[in-house]
Amino acid sequence: MKRLNIRYGTAILLGGVLGPGVLVLPQLGAAVAGPASVLAWAALLLLSAPVAITFAVLGVRYPDGGGVAAFARRAFGDRTAAVVGVWFYGVIPLGTFAGALVGAEAATAALGLGRGVALVVAVLLMAAAFAVNAAGLRTSGRVQMWLLTLLVGLLGTAIVTAGGQVQAAHFTPFAPHGLGGVAAAIGVLLFAFVGWEAASHLSADFAAGATDRDGRRVLLRSTQGALAIVGVLYLALAVVTVGVLGPRAAQPGALGALLETGIGPAARPILAVAALLLSFGGINTYLAGAARLGAALARDGVLPRWFARGGEPGAVPLRSLGLLAAMSAVCAVPVVLLHFDLDFLLRVTAACLAAVTFVGAAAAARLLPAGREHRTAVLATVLSGLALLCCGAFLLAPALLAALTLAGPAGRKPTAPRPAAASVARLAPHDHEATAPATGTLRRGGA
């Protein structure tokens, strides 16, 4: 793989956001907020735009497999970078396995199969995503592009065919649980919007082999394309689900019921296919980003140096990928044996990733020069901070990971920001900062 193009880049970005949460999040949001869950979806879509653009701008200026952790190092120093990296890397095994279970259970339920089969399907989904990532990012992007084309078509069909049956009466009472219900809905629906930070770890692969202008164009246009598709699909799906199903929108299997309303008996096999595609797409993107982050964390001394191999742009970080596979297997055991509630797993994952998003936006607000991009970063910081507060008690998860990280060797590193010589910004011609040649890596030791 030389570098990602716009088609593959859009597919990778879209896969990180348009993931398995679509299968259950409209239902979970409606359960805690009623029809007002539509407001939560709209608010998070407004949050997504500045956050996504901010991460794209950071990726253009500072391409690095460390993603948000690398941005945090530039802005706040090694300790913050280590914490952010562990937040992302540590929660991905749990989050991806939870996503695999979401898709597998939805698919097997649609086909009338039991939980045992769902567990096997979840393991196969994880194995397939690991295999595709081991083959390289370009292969991963190609597979993602075709799968997401089919997926968007399936969801679009469901929305269009059922949309004619929306009833205004189903939107009253609009907010039965008040603003508290909307805030609670934001807390769980965050899971559907935290994929933008995953793609920041692929920024060096967008930039590899490209000119400054090409690197900016590919990453920004990929982000804009993914934003447009996500915005239309999510908001339309939320409105149609509540408007067509009414109280049933808060019950398990809401997406299946919506499909049956629109297209009849063919809905079950279609839902099974959509569930598998959604799960695979999300897992694929998160593993791609996390594998590169793991190599960067090893390069910077947070993980053992042995895991750094393959972290260069265009390479495959097989050792980091293998560590993720082992961690996923370890996470799967208690999830399966103790029957953790799906809502709990999604909220824990969302809280950690929302914390990553907040620090990344704050890093952008500190690093970017005055102008439109800086104002966008400040807005992203404020909005992501408000969304983070909606996670409530689940913020204990990132707090615990931060404490464990700082109690280890990473907690004894210098705290001052240390811009690295090797990962200097790739700027478009209209930018005015002085730069050195960019290699897409961020090495220890500073400039």
Q: Mean of the pLDDT values across residues 78-87?
A: 93
Q: Between residues 28 and 340, which one has the greater pLDDT?
A: 28
Alpha-carbon distance 66 to 295, whole Å?
Answer: 8
Given this model, what pLDDT does residue 439 score? 34
Is 80 exceeded by the pLDDT of residue 422? no
Given this model, what pLDDT does residue 75 score? 94
Q: Mean of the pLDDT values across residues 272-277?
A: 83
Q: How many CB atoms lie within 10 A of CB 213?
A: 13
Enclosing H/E stretch for 37: helix 37-61
Given this model, what pLDDT does residue 320 score? 93
How does the average pLDDT of the chain come out, rounded? 79
Under the banding of pLDDT at 50, 70 and 90, the label for residue 208 is: low
Given this model, what pLDDT does residue 432 score? 36
Q: Between residues 389 and 64, which one has the greater pLDDT?
A: 389
Given this model, what pLDDT does residue 387 score? 83
Is 70 exceeded by the pLDDT of residue 211? no
Question: Which range, of 145-149, 330-334, 350-354, averages the lowest pLDDT?
Answer: 145-149
Is 80 exceeded by the pLDDT of residue 303? yes
Q: Between residues 370 and 193, which one has the greater pLDDT?
A: 370
**Nearest 5°: phi and psi at 373?**
-65, -40
Given this model, what pLDDT does residue 138 score? 58
Is 50 exceeded by the pLDDT of residue 76? yes
What percent of the chain shows pLDDT beyond 90?
20
Q: How far is CA 320 from CA 244, 293, 304, in A?
A: 45, 8, 10
* Burial call 106-119: b when 16+ CB within 10 Å, e when fewer: bbbbbeebeeeebb
Question: Considering the entire predicted model, what is its pTM?
Answer: 0.75
Amino acid identity of residue 23, one-letter, is L
Given this model, what pLDDT does residue 395 score? 94
Q: Are 215 and 439 in contact (CB under 8 A)?
A: no
Q: Between residues 277 and 126, which one has the greater pLDDT?
A: 126
Q: Mean of the pLDDT values across residues 194-210?
A: 63
Q: Mean of the pLDDT values across residues 144-165?
A: 78
Q: Between residues 438 and 141, which one has the greater pLDDT?
A: 141
DSSP state letters, 231-244: HHHHHHHHHHHHHH
Given this model, what pLDDT does residue 424 score? 35
Given this model, what pLDDT does residue 213 score? 54
Is 70 exceeded by the pLDDT of residue 253? yes
Q: Between residues 65 and 275, which one has the greater pLDDT?
A: 275
